[in-house]
Every structure is written in structure tokens, then in C-alpha cells.
């Protein structure tokens, strides 16, 4: 896993725990206008997740526990989420998320 800065440490831990059970990590605020993905560029650090973190979680099974699913809502995903030709260790759901760069999924496969 690539090191992340301290500002993303809590988010990384939260996602690492949630991926094992498939629990939804919901970063939305509950206001449909503020939560609209089209406004994602305005979302602050609390809702920001580095794409490299997601790629690492989705492609590397850490430890003896098999990840169940990565489920994330209302996140501002920064950087290129490059999963091209990757083998994902679990299914992924990215709901109402905003991406600042294109997502690459060509030839990606997922273990189910």
C-alpha cells in the first residue's frame, strides 16, 4: 500500500474496516442540493478520497480476511482511478461520487 498523508489516515482506516463487511461508507450530508455529484468539486477534505487508495484496496487483499465489497457514497475522488486490466478482489459500488479524472476499467475483472 502506498503511504498516504495524515489527512487521509482516518478515511483509509474506515474504508479498510468497511470493505471487510461490505458496509457502506456514506459521506453524503443529507442535503440533495449539496450532495449532488455535479457539485463534487466543491466538496471539502472530509469527503475527499485519493483514487490510489481505492485502487489499492480493490486490488490487494491485505491479511487473511477476504474483502466482501467496497461501497462508498458521496465521495470526491481525486486522481485517476486506474483499474485497467486489474483483478479486483471484491465488488465495488461508488454511489453519487465525483471524479476529478476519468476512471479506467477496461478489461478489469472482479472476484465474486
d(CA 17, CA 25): 10
Rounded to whole angstroms, what are the CA distances from 72 to 57, 58, 61, 64?
12, 12, 18, 23
Q: What's the pTM?
A: 0.88
- Cα–Cα distance, 106 to 35 (Å, whole number): 28
Task: Tell me the per-residue pLDDT of 45-102, one tens digit each, with 9 for 90 and over.
Answer: 999 999 999 999 999 866 678 899 999 999 999 999 999 999 999 999 999 999 999 9
Phi, psi for residue 41 in degrees, rounded to 5: -65, -15
The Cα diameter of the chain in Å comes to: 41
Q: Hey, where are the domains in the chain?
A: 6-110
Amino acid at each position: 500500500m502506498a503511504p498516504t498523508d495524515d489527512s487521509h489516515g482516518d478515511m483509509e482506516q474506515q474504508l479498510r474496516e468497511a470493505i471487510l463487511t461490505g458496509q457502506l461508507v456514506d459521506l453524503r450530508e443529507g442535503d440533495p442540493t449539496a450532495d449532488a455529484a455535479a457539485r463534487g468539486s466543491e466538496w471539502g477534505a472530509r469527503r475527499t478520497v485519493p483514487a490510489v487508495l481505492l485502487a489499492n484496496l480493490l486490488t490487494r487483499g491485505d491479511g487473511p480476511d477476504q474483502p466482501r465489497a467496497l461501497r462508498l457514497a458521496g465521495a470526491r475522488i481525486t486522481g485517476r482511478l486506474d483499474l485497467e486490466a486489474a483483478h479486483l478482489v471484491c465488488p465495488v459500488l461508488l454511489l453519487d461520487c465525483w471524479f476529478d479524472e476519468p476512471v479506467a476499467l477496461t478489461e478489469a475483472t472482479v472476484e465474486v
